[in-house]
Structure 1
Amino acid sequence: MQPQRVRLFVKPWCPWCQRAETWLQARGITYDRLDVTRDRQAWDEMVRLSGQTLAPVIEVDGAVLADFGPEELAAFWQEQVGGRQTS
């Protein structure tokens, strides 16, 4: 079962952000992409959620992971969603 809400806060030029998007897309995970370089409200929300200005930041149904790579994202996803993936 897919989480109800997945938001990914990114900086488009950030290679870690690109890897996070690739990871999500490869698993068919639906998410909202928020470009914090173009949207001040998204920037403010990212900082409020994560306490930092580094990207990427992902929020899954209220749980937050900040400044991560694919390995950390996989572990976070397993913990938050139980490894359930859409097909």
Structure 2
Amino acid sequence: MPPITIYTKSWCPYCQAAKQLLTAKGAAFDEIEISGKEAERAEMVQRAGGRTTVPQIFIGDRHVGGFDDLNALDRRGELDPLLA
């Protein structure tokens, strides 16, 4: 399984949903909580091509996007192959 990184904020319901979906798939992930952490937030924005919302999800070197993007991949049957 490729490494998964998810940038989050503790109060974000979309972050919770993304983590729940990944957990349901049996995927381990590194969570980077960016609330009040400018260096981590700047890293996320740079890696995400300027996107500033959370969550921002990376599977291996691929930027997946946010929860809606992750969920769309799952609905299309494209998430499981990425996680394999």
Please give the TM-score of this superposition, normalised by the length of structure 2.
Answer: 0.79
1:17-67: CA deviations, max 9, x gaps?
Answer: 000000011111010000011433321111001112101101111100223
The runs of 5 or more residues in structure 2 that have no matched partner are none
Separation in 1 of the partners of 2:83 and 2:41? 29
Structure 1 segments unaligned to the other structure (5+ residues):
none
Equivalent pairs, count: 82
* Regions of 4+ moved over 6 Å: none
User: TM-score, normalization: structure 1?
Assistant: 0.76
In structure 2, do the counterparts of structure 1 residues 18 and 56 end up closer, same or farther at CA, with 3 Å as the change threshold?
same
**In 2, distance between residues paired with 1:76 and 1:44?**
31
- Partners of 1:73 and 1:45 lie apart in 2 by 24
CA root-mean-square deviation: 2.4
